[in-house]
Amino acid sequence: MPAAKAGPFNGPDARGRFSGYGGRFVPETLMGPLEELEKAYRDAVLDPGFHKELDRLFRTYAGRPTPLTPARRFAAHIGKGRIYLKREDLTHTGAHKINNALGQILLARRMGKSRIIAETGAGQHGVATATVAALFGMECEIYMGTEDMRRQALNVFRMRLLGAKVRPVDSGSRTLKDAINEAMRDWVTNVADTHYLLGSVLGAHPYPWMVRDFQAVIGREAREQILAAEGRLPELLVACVGGGSNAIGLFYDFLREPGIRMIGVEAGGRGPALGDHAARFEGGSKGVLQGTLSYVLQDENGQIAGTHSVSAGLDYPAIGPEHAALHDSGRVQYTSVRDEAALEAFRLLSRTEGIIPALESAHAIAELLRRGPELEPDTLVIVNLSGRGDKDVNQVAEILNQDDLKGRSE
Ligand SMILES: *Cc1c(COP(=O)(O)O)cnc(C)c1O
């Protein structure tokens, strides 16, 4: 387990490796910018003023601490367990991504940068980035594939409303991977005034380490809250895993507690065929994507495979390198949940708790439904509710119509 015995701001090894995963697999032109960023982050970590300012933004802007909500009717439905939801859905902009965006923009300002770039697939990270850029009065450009822009027109509008420029990327598959390439190109060219705000625990060192630290506030709060509510630590933590930032955010502070089981839930999509899911541990193998060595969905020639998930936030061919290390060490278990099960969980949580979860978070809820029979009556569980489901309501309405599940919703 990588440096898990050290404090929350101690990282991977000096080369940015988590038990061999991670690192910096980038063209020579990106080495300088990454080294500059690493140095700035190491300085910031040692500066109490940086933490104080971030904490102030968390409280006064993002709405932290987020509540830990007992899910009694949901637990009653399962029949066992004492289940709590960590409510990242209640943050400003409705998901945990704002935690990382605030941390990075504070760092960008510290580095004297005046311009922020990012790439986005579904638009969630683009919106979080545009939000913090507006707050700090920085210029902001978001790269987005034209196919994604078509599918996520409302988020394109949101980003523009927030003052960001959305740059259409019309090459390749016109989706996230192509947008990443364009954003990298921009960064190399404009690094003097530009910070590249990466959205998950992905990319080259120091991103996976830095983003994890910014998200670790989730687990630190959850620990305090569960101790206050129950007087003991949880036995089980469950979170969905796209790139892996909300999951490591919840898990990190608990990694050193041997009694706590942790489950990361990937997108099982339509089924196990390559191209139909985003379950990197079940269907992937070691490979490099976006500058980092991890588990990647690829064909036998190393070409990155297509992916599918009902939830855009989990639909990505690589997983963060720290998760690869946690997987191999056995410290965290990874599993996958298919689209239908996630949709069922989406409906169930809405009805039992009055909380419409993001489709991503619904994967974690679905895993808990499946595990129900294994729980003891008093098993203490925390599920990370990474985001709210308002963004998914139109899509779910369409799917439920198609599948003719509508009849069941009276
Ligand atoms: C982006 C997103 C995710 C997936 O990203 P991670 O880095 O794996 O956390 C999960 N849930 C929501 C609500 C998201 O917006």
**How remote is the CA of residue 97 from the centroid of ligand 1, in Å?**
7
CA 29 to chain centre: 27
**How remote is the CA of residue 250 from the centroid of ligand 1, in Å?**
12
Q: Work out which ligand 1 atom sits closest to the CA atom of 125.
A: 1
Pocket of ligand 1 (CB under 6 A): 95, 97, 124, 200, 240-247, 313-314, 358, 360-361, 386-387
**How remote is the CA of residue 389 from the centroid of ligand 1, in Å?**
12
Phi/psi of residue 63, each to 5°? 90, 25
**How remote is the CA of residue 407 from the centroid of ligand 1, in Å?**
31
Q: Given this model, what pLDDT does residue 173 score? A: 82
Residue positions annotated with a catalytic role: 97, 119, 386
**How remote is the CA of residue 52 from the centroid of ligand 1, in Å?**
26
Residue nearest atom 1 in ligand 1 by C-alpha distance: 313
What are the pLDDT tens digits along the chain (410 aa)? 333 343 344 579 999 999 999 999 999 999 999 999 999 999 999 999 999 999 999 999 999 999 999 999 999 999 999 999 999 999 999 999 999 999 999 999 999 999 999 999 889 999 999 999 999 999 999 999 998 898 889 999 999 999 999 999 999 888 888 898 899 999 999 999 999 999 999 999 999 999 999 999 999 999 999 999 999 999 999 999 999 999 999 999 999 998 999 999 999 999 999 999 999 999 999 999 999 999 999 999 999 999 999 998 999 999 999 999 999 999 999 999 999 999 999 999 999 999 999 999 999 999 999 999 999 999 999 999 999 999 999 899 999 886 554 445 44
**How remote is the CA of residue 359 from the centroid of ligand 1, in Å?**
10
SS3 string, the chain, reads CCCCCCCCCCCCCCCCEECCEECCCCCHHHHHHHHHHHHHHHHHHCCHHHHHHHHHHHHHHHCCCCCEEECHHHHHHHCCCEEEEEEHHHCCCCECHHHHHHHHHHHHHHCCCCEEEEEECCCHHHHHHHHHHHHHCCEEEEEEEHHHHHHCHHHHHHHHHCCCEEEEECCCCCCHHHHHHHHHHHHHHHCCCEEECCCCCCCCCCHHHHHHHHHCHHHHHHHHHHHHHHCCCCCEEEEECCCCHHHHHHHHHHCCCCCCEEEEEEEEECCCCCCCCECHHHHCEEEEECCEEEEECECCCCCECCCCCCCHHHCCCECCHHHHHHHHHCCCEEEEEEHHHHHHHHHHHHHHHCCCECHHHHHHHHHHHHHHHHCCCCCEEEEEECEECHHHHHHHHHHHHHCCCHHHHC
Q: Given this model, what pLDDT does residue 404 score? A: 53
Residue nearest atom 14 in ligand 1 by C-alpha distance: 313
Q: Given this model, what pLDDT does residue 157 score? A: 96
Tell which one of 100, 127, 245 to mutate to probe ligand 1, the residue whose CB is within 8 A of the most ligand atoms: 245
Q: Work out which ligand 1 atom sits closest to the CA atom of 89.
A: 13
Residue nearest atom 5 in ligand 1 by C-alpha distance: 242
Phi/psi of residue 384, each to 5°? -85, 115
Tell which one of 90, 197, 212, 240 to mutate to probe ligand 1, the residue whose CB is within 8 A of the most ligand atoms: 240
Residue nearest atom 3 in ligand 1 by C-alpha distance: 313
Residue nearest atom 2 in ligand 1 by C-alpha distance: 313
Tell which one of 314, 359, 383, 385 to mutate to probe ligand 1, the residue whose CB is within 8 A of the most ligand atoms: 314
